[in-house]
Structure 1
Amino acid sequence: MNYLVISPYYPQNFQQFTIELANKGIKVLGIGQEPYEQLDAPLREALSEYFRVEDLENLDEVKRAVAFLFYKHGPIDRIESHNEHWLELDAALREQFHVFGAKPRDLDKTKYKSKMKKYFTKAGVPVVPGQVVKKPADIDKALKEIGLPMIAKPDNGVGAAATCKLESKEDVEAFRAEWDQTTVYFLEKFVNSSEICTFDGLLDSQGNIVFSTTFDYAHTPLDLMLYKLDNSYYILKDMDPKLREYGEKIVKTFGMKERFFHIEFFRQGDDYIAIEYNNRPAGGFTIDVYNYAHSIDLYKGYASIVAGEGLAPSEFEPLYCLATTRRDATDYYYPEDFVLDKYRDQLKTIKRMPAAFAELQGDWLYLLTTPDRAQMEQMIADFARKAED
């Protein structure tokens, strides 16, 4: 099998996918922008060949690189990056070279929030009303049919980028004045819930769920963006059966195969409202968070799925796994040495956040596990407490 990795160097933690694929005897090829000498030694050893391009954004240049590797090594069986930024490139290359996996037409339902909502509805999962905004009259229609407050976000966008809350007529007029009328927006009813949770997992080549988990955000992505809070989220030991039912219905309706998924929901009382389907693992170091919580290795597990071997279940009970951040510029009540000593038995690792994530999420990431929810909540409070509190 020939497996082509797009951008094998970045993000650095995803290099382990390449290494584990090679450990399975799969020939792994890479295309990226970094010089070969910049690649970490284990990554270089795992790659059978690496083709450097000047610009991964240049589709024609990347296609020529794939064609060269195809000519030299034979047909490509898989093309993948696991990276939100390259999902469309991955899909375009799969279509061009007739490779298994999601094609551009398959991505529409995961790119556009308006189309996601239709699939959520088809799956029988609760959603809130929304309106695509392509022209000024659509804003008036949304006001009449949905009413305030609303959330305005690009119909094709990632996370909370370029998102705003419209609470008053003045907010609406400010949005109307600032909107460039070229970016298609999606307006939907604001959900009065600060609880966002997920249904995440991995699919085999037939689209069966072979691993699933759930985590809660301590703060919504919108609040993180607006108030520059410290990011915290945590894997739950147990999953609400209703959330699992909704998640499984959504996965079946979207019909993806042999890939990770990350689905976000609002929790509202004892029910859930679907927000977004992401056709990839959750960002940052979340694969590591899954692994620590479930005593599993999903880098190896994914390689086993690709090799057609299936995924062996974990033999251990899940733990709460907390991922919490701190910012370089913030003065905290408890010095780092203090909290690291207090939780030395729970601490699993410390990671420096890549610059691309640091502004939104924080500069340093701490991963900790515990079987006790009360202790996990105390960890969040201790790491986040500011000097002025």
Structure 2
Amino acid sequence: MNVIFIEPGFPANQRQFVRALASIGANVIGIGERPYEWLDEETRSWLGSYQQIASVTDEAALEWAVRQAQDVQWVDRLEAVVEAHVMPAAHVRERCGIPGTTARTAYLCRDKVAMKDALREAGVPTAASAGLSSTREAIEFADAVGYPIIIKPRDAAGAAGTYRANDEPELLEVAQRCGLADGAAVAVEEFVEGHEGFYDTLTVNGEVAHDFISHYYPNVLEAMRARWISPQIISTNRLDEPGYNEIKTMGKRVIDALGIHTSATHMEWFFGPKGLRFSEIGCRPPGVGQWESYCSGNEFDLYREWAFAVCHHHIDRKPSRRYSCGIIALRPDRDGNIFSYEGVEDVFKQYGENIVEQYFPDPGTPTQGVEAGYMANAWLRVRHPDYDELRHILNDIGERVQVRAG
């Protein structure tokens, strides 16, 4: 099995997909933007060959590299697991006759407006939305659905470039900030009140082979705007409880409606006064190292499961569901350089057996802004057999650990 994998060197967890493919006997052909010598020794050992190009999102360059590989051997799969790489990979895949996620599916999973139109047609409950390119249209949309409204790029990943406008003055301000006032195309959505979480799958031949459900505390927009919050993402091990059946059913309808075949998926949802509402999907794994939480919580190698799915269209092992597992972001009290940590030693004494991964930047490291995400500064990954107890542990860590900067 010859598999082209796009960008094996960055971001850091890309090497895990290469490792997994090599571990089941695949010949991995890397295409990336970095010189081969910049890849770490282990990653190089897992690659059968490597081609550097200027940009993996340049479809002409990517197609050239893929055809170079095809001149040497038959290529069975072409895989991309980063949001920005999914669409270029789909276009090149189709032009080069390689099976995998289609350009139509990649587009529907990327363009927020087309995505929601397709899902509403399939009967999936979503927020009201529209694609707009003027402030006047946004005001008319808000008048029709009511404030607050959400404004985001049509092809945004996560909360990047996402704004909430609570009234018309705020909408006018956001329109200036996001370029809408100058004619930029954006997606606008009805604000959906409620708790936010996500449903992740490994889908094989259109069927859910592995699935995972995670919760945000607090919701993403709030977490990315307030420094004092130590936000958490927790994956539950209670997936068999009846309360999650509606999420699973919705997820399968989304997969069917968008034509997803064999791929990782990442689906965001809200649950509130209006019931369950679908938010958006990525035809790729989640960010913030969330697969590491799934691996730790379920005592198996999800990357290897992905490799089996891609190469052989089946999975190898079942998740144990033994632990819930979550990450907590520990933010500096101000911008500057980190100079000390408080409470860390006591937390490790009390919860050391539950902590499975950690990151504490060295003193002197410049801080990153709140908007940079959950893994931008210090963080801990923690697991526990009981979901409620895990929430208690993470809350306690958030209160006790202080990151000092100046």
User: What is the CA distance between 1:328 and its match in structure 2?
Assistant: 4.7
TM-score, normalization by structure 2: 0.87
2:348 is matched with 340
| 1:310-349 deviation digits (Å, cap 9, x = unpaired) | 2134363432101112235569995222212211111112
1:190 is matched with 191
CA contact (8 A) 1:201 1:210 kept: yes
| Aligned: 1:86 with 2:90 | no
1:51 is matched with 51
| 1-10 vs 57-66, which moves further | 57-66
Task: Determine which of 356, 364, 372 is the counterpart of 2:386.
Answer: 372
Equivalent residue pairs, number: 385
1:360 is matched with 373
User: Where in structure 2 are the equivalents of 1:1-389 lying within 5 Å?
Assistant: 1-72=1-72, 74-178=73-177, 179-193=180-194, 195-204=195-204, 206-228=205-227, 229-239=229-239, 240-268=244-272, 271-308=275-312, 310-314=314-318, 316-328=320-332, 334-351=342-359, 359-361=372-374, 362-385=376-399
CA contact (8 A) 2:22 2:28 kept: yes
The DSSP-based 3-state class of the residue aligned with 1:12 is: coil
CA contact (8 A) 2:234 2:326 kept: yes
Name structure 1 gaps, 5 residues minimum: none
User: What is the CA distance between 1:270 and its match in structure 2?
Assistant: 8.7
Name structure 2 gaps, 5 residues minimum: 362-366
The DSSP-based 3-state class of the residue aligned with 1:287 is: helix
Counterparts of 1:109 and 1:338, CA distance in 2: 48
Counterparts of 1:276 and 1:77, CA distance in 2: 30
CA contact (8 A) 2:101 2:263 kept: no
Counterparts of 1:315 and 1:174, CA distance in 2: 47
| 1:13-46 deviation digits (Å, cap 9, x = unpaired) | 2212112212222111001122222212221111
User: What is the CA distance between 1:61 and its match in structure 2?
Assistant: 2.6
| 1:201-229 deviation digits (Å, cap 9, x = unpaired) | 1011x111100010001122211222244
Which letter maps to 1:350?
Q
TM-score, normalization by structure 1: 0.91
CA contact (8 A) 1:237 1:319 kept: yes
Residues 176 and 282 from structure 1, CA distance in 2 versus in 1: closer, same or farther, beyond 3 angstroms?
closer
User: What is the CA distance between 1:177 and its match in structure 2?
Assistant: 4.3
CA contact (8 A) 2:139 2:168 kept: no
Counterparts of 2:92 and 2:354, CA distance in 1: 43
CA contact (8 A) 1:352 1:363 kept: yes
Which letter maps to 1:96?
R
| 87-96 vs 136-145, which moves further | 136-145
Residues 46 and 296 from structure 1, CA distance in 2 versus in 1: closer, same or farther, beyond 3 angstroms?
same
Counterparts of 1:357 and 1:84, CA distance in 2: 21
CA contact (8 A) 1:8 1:81 kept: no
Residues 358 and 31 from structure 1, CA distance in 2 versus in 1: closer, same or farther, beyond 3 angstroms?
farther
CA contact (8 A) 1:292 1:369 kept: yes
Counterparts of 2:88 and 2:139, CA distance in 1: 36
Residues 58 and 121 from structure 1, CA distance in 2 versus in 1: closer, same or farther, beyond 3 angstroms?
closer
User: What is the CA distance between 1:237 and its match in structure 2?
Assistant: 1.6
CA contact (8 A) 2:324 2:384 kept: yes
User: Percent same amino acid among aligned pairs?
Assistant: 21
Counterparts of 1:355 and 1:25, CA distance in 2: 40
Residues 263 and 309 from structure 1, CA distance in 2 versus in 1: closer, same or farther, beyond 3 angstroms?
closer
Counterparts of 2:262 and 2:2, CA distance in 1: 16
After superposing on structure 2, the runs of 4+ consecutive aligned residues of structure 1 that deviate more than 4 Å are: 328-334, 351-358
Counterparts of 1:69 and 1:161, CA distance in 2: 34
Which letter maps to 1:114?
V
Which letter maps to 1:306?
V
User: What is the CA distance between 1:128 and its match in structure 2?
Assistant: 2.0
Counterparts of 1:271 and 1:373, CA distance in 2: 23
User: What is the CA distance between 1:97 and its match in structure 2?
Assistant: 0.9
User: What is the CA distance between 1:305 and its match in structure 2?
Assistant: 1.6
